[in-house]
Amino acid sequence: MSILGVIHSPFTGKGQTPIQVTRSQAIGQVEVFPKYANDLRDIEHLFHIHLLYVFHKSSGCALHVKPFLDDHVHGIFVTRYPHRLNPVGLSTVRLLSRQNNVLIIEGVDVLDGTPLLNIKPYVPDFDRRTENVSAGWCETRSKK
């Protein structure tokens, strides 16, 4: 896997980041390395983008965890806990503007200096599920 760039945010310590991207209104920047700048063509027409990144400050891995919003232990794959077998994160953020190889975003929820793996467009018809949706144990906790 190649690192495509770096995500910049106002968050410099692990305890500073919002627990979920929807709880953040923070402004950040996605600095795409110059050799990939041409690959951003037409991105300014999008309202939201998915960012895939590395939890670069994550240490270790736990297969069973007690997440922030619950008092019970769950398997790692039904949580959004950052200490994972493969420390890859996903955030959907609002794209405010593009300045050459830098994207200005709203809703950043990662640490400053987070390595960027990929950018994908958020497409409501493909990404939003409206039928037969269940968030499992998160259903009653996500409103907190």
- Residues of the domain holding 96: 5-58+86-123
- Residue 144 covered by a domain: no
Tokens at residue 9, please?
């945010």
Does 111 fall in a domain?
yes
Task: Determine the pLDDT at residue 108.
Answer: 92
DSSP 118: E
Residue 36 sits in a domain of what CATH number?
A: 2.40.30.70
Q: Looking at the 3D structure of the chain, how many domains does it have? A: 1
Does residue 129 sit within a domain? Answer: no
Question: What is the C-alpha separation between 119 and 92, in angstroms, rounded?
Answer: 10
Q: What predicted TM-score, i.e. pTM, was given to this entire model? A: 0.80
Query: Could you give the CA distance from residue 51 to residue 116 in angstroms, rounded to a whole number?
Result: 7
**135 occurs within a structural domain:** no
pLDDT above 70 for 22:
no
pLDDT at position 141: 58
pLDDT score of 89 more than 70: yes
Q: Which of 82, 15, 28 is nearest to 55 (CA)?
A: 82
